[in-house]
Amino acid sequence: MTDLNALEAELTQAIAAANDVAALEAVRVAALGKQGSISGLLKSMGAMSPDERREKGPLINGLRDRISAALNAKKAGLEAVELEARLLAGRVDLSLPAPPRRKGAVHPTMQVMDELIAVFAEMGFAVAEGPDIEDDWHNFTALNFPPKHPAREMHDTFFFKPGADGERRLLRTHTSPVQVRTMQSQEPPIRIVAPGRVFRCDSDQTHTPMFHQIEGLVIDKGIHMGHLKWTLETFVARFFETDAVTTRFRPHHFPFTEPSAEMDVRCDRSGGEVKIGQGDDWLEILGCGMVHPNVLRQCGIDPDVWQGFAFGLGVDRMGMLKYGMPDLRDMFASDVRWLEHYGFSATQAPNPASGLS
Ligand code: DAH
């Protein structure tokens, strides 16, 4: 029979000598593993006579319990030491220089949106908003587009499948439905601009399926084309930050305004770049007109009492003009190099006091 005291002394010493978790595990296997010395003793109890078992059993079990406890205690100690060593090795040296990091920038569209809002806010316009998903009535019917009129298709509209109510919803093709929503929810006088996303099924150098417009609407008594002209000319001078801008109004057609016009600004196209406020060329920048009496009536406003003017322009296009970006599609390609080049500081919001850009 093995000398239990000698075995205990030997194992206790091996446990004390183990200086990492792996060495300790080897000791555990040698003692308590399937072929281990203590496991062998436990197994041998089966062959003992009852008297012998009564005598040796408690000794062997006692040895197993003490060795198990010693192994567990040592393991906990070793793990704590190893954790400490790992934490020390992984310590961050705060004196190291930070790795180079890409700096965020404000997208030119958002910058121009803020500039436009700042200019119109100074003239007393509030900001209004409407949903991207519209119904046919707000996007077309209330704006005096005749039913089944090709103009509905002309806008290259993205239509949804008809819903349970049979209604065909759509992605708004312009910000003009916000005119309707504002006139329905506010009493005149009204003076708002409505910036937002619009959608048309179209893509080339100057068209993307999603782009941004800003809509303007003024409803008051005695409003005429002179108010419209002054507002838009003042806006262009402030936005391009020069008094040298010359504008020209050309007759046009929009279903929701009568009369309607397009406004051009004088520009110079020589040298492959558009320069505003010089040269002999003209560039169309917005659509406008006097709000059609039918639109006022659809919104519950009496056209014999109230009149108004409206205008709409492409925000991204204004950005391309002001900041010289040649391709509209780049604006939505999410290329960080482009954004680093054309982006704006996030800490310098445009305002009339400190300047726009
Ligand atoms: N909604 C027109 C478009 O997207 C732009 C427009 C023209 C808006 C004339 C107006 C307006 O408010 O009076 O083509």
Question: Closest Cα partner for 316 from 196, 231, 192?
Answer: 196
Same domain membership, residue 219 and residue 72: no
Lowest-pLDDT choice from 9-18, 92-101, 290-299: 92-101
Amino acid identity for residue 114 in this structure = D
Closest C-alpha to ligand 1, atom 6: 312
Q: How far is the CA of 13 from the centre of ligand 1 (A)?
A: 91
What contacts 228, CB < 8 A, 6 or more positions away? 218, 288, 289, 290, 309, 311
Q: Which of 89, 119, 138 is the last residue of a domain?
A: 89
Amino acid 219: pLDDT = 98
Closest C-alpha to ligand 1, atom 3: 174
Contact 310, 215 (CB under 8 A): yes
What contacts 33, CB < 8 A, 6 or more positions away? 39
Give Rg (Cα) of the chain. Answer: 40
Contact 190, 274 (CB under 8 A): no
Residue with tokens 């000398």: 3
Same domain membership, residue 112 and residue 85: no
Amino acid 324: pLDDT = 84
Closest C-alpha to ligand 1, atom 12: 311
The answer as to whether 168 is a domain residue is yes
Q: How far, in Å, CA of 278 to CA of 265, rounded?
A: 9
Q: How far is the CA of 207 from the centre of ligand 1 (A)?
A: 16
Pairing of strands 257-268, 275-276: antiparallel
Which domain covers residue 188, as residue numbers? 108-342
Q: How far, in Å, CA of 288 to CA of 220, rounded?
A: 17
**Domain harbouring 330, CATH code:** 3.30.930.10
Same domain membership, residue 157 and residue 76: no
Q: How far, in Å, CA of 259 to CA of 254, rounded?
A: 8
> Could you tell me which residue, 153 or 39, shows the higher pLDDT?
39
Same domain membership, residue 147 and residue 253: yes
Q: Which residues line ligand 1 (CB under 6 A)?
A: 174, 176, 215, 254, 257, 287-289, 310-312
Amino acid 256: pLDDT = 97
Amino acid 274: pLDDT = 79
The answer as to whether 103 is a domain residue is no
The structural domain count of the chain equals 2
Closest ligand 1 atom to 143 CA: 1
The answer as to whether 350 is a domain residue is no
Could you tell me how far CA 105 lies from the centroid of its own chain?
13
C-alpha distance from residue 339 to each of 15, 316, 321, 356, 357 (Å): 63, 14, 17, 19, 16
Q: What is the mean pLDDT of the chain?
A: 91
pLDDT at 117 over 80: yes
Q: How far is the CA of 98 from the centre of ligand 1 (A)?
A: 50
Residue 319's SS3 state is helix
Same domain membership, residue 69 and residue 118: no
Cβ–Cβ contacts within 10 Å for residue 29, how many? 13
Q: What is the DSSP letter of 250?
A: E
Same domain membership, residue 295 and residue 338: yes
Q: How far, in Å, CA of 76 to CA of 21, rounded?
A: 9
Same domain membership, residue 148 and residue 20: no
The answer as to whether 22 is a domain residue is yes
Same domain membership, residue 181 and residue 303: yes
The answer as to whether 232 is a domain residue is yes
Of the residues 157, 170, 176, 191, which should be mutated to test ligand 1's pocket, given the most ligand atoms within 8 Å of the CB? 176
Cβ–Cβ contacts within 10 Å for residue 236, how many? 21
Q: How far is the CA of 342 from the centre of ligand 1 (A)?
A: 28
Closest C-alpha to ligand 1, atom 13: 288
Same domain membership, residue 112 and residue 81: no
Q: Which of 89, 121, 143 is the last residue of a domain?
A: 89
Q: How far is the CA of 321 from the centre of ligand 1 (A)?
A: 19
Q: How far is the CA of 349 from the centre of ligand 1 (A)?
A: 27
Q: What is the pLDDT of residues 275-288, one digit of tens each?
A: 888 888 898 999 99
Pairing of strands 190-199, 169-171: unpaired
Structure token digits, residue 16: 């004390």
Of the residues 235, 288, 294, 299, which should be mutated to test ligand 1's pocket, given the most ligand atoms within 8 Å of the CB? 288
The answer as to whether 67 is a domain residue is yes
C-alpha distance from residue 69 to each of 31, 76, 261 (Å): 13, 11, 93
Amino acid 97: pLDDT = 81
Closest C-alpha to ligand 1, atom 5: 312
pLDDT at 211 over 70: yes
pLDDT at 102 over 80: no
Q: How far is the CA of 213 from the centre of ligand 1 (A)?
A: 9
Alpha helix ranges (H) inside 186-274: 225-239
Same domain membership, residue 164 and residue 124: yes
The answer as to whether 226 is a domain residue is yes
Contact 239, 115 (CB under 8 A): yes
Same domain membership, residue 320 and residue 174: yes
Q: How far is the CA of 130 from the centre of ligand 1 (A)?
A: 15
Closest ligand 1 atom to 217 CA: 12
Same domain membership, residue 334 and residue 218: yes
Structure token digits, residue 206: 């100057």
What average pLDDT does the segment 196-202 reach?
94
Structure token digits, residue 193: 């601009």
Q: Where residue 295 falls among pLDDT bands split at 50, 70, 90? A: very high
Q: Which of 55, 89, 123 is the last residue of a domain?
A: 89
Q: How far, in Å, CA of 231 to CA of 345, rounded?
A: 29
Stated length of the chain: 357
pTM of the model: 0.72
pLDDT at 154 over 70: no
The answer as to whether 80 is a domain residue is yes
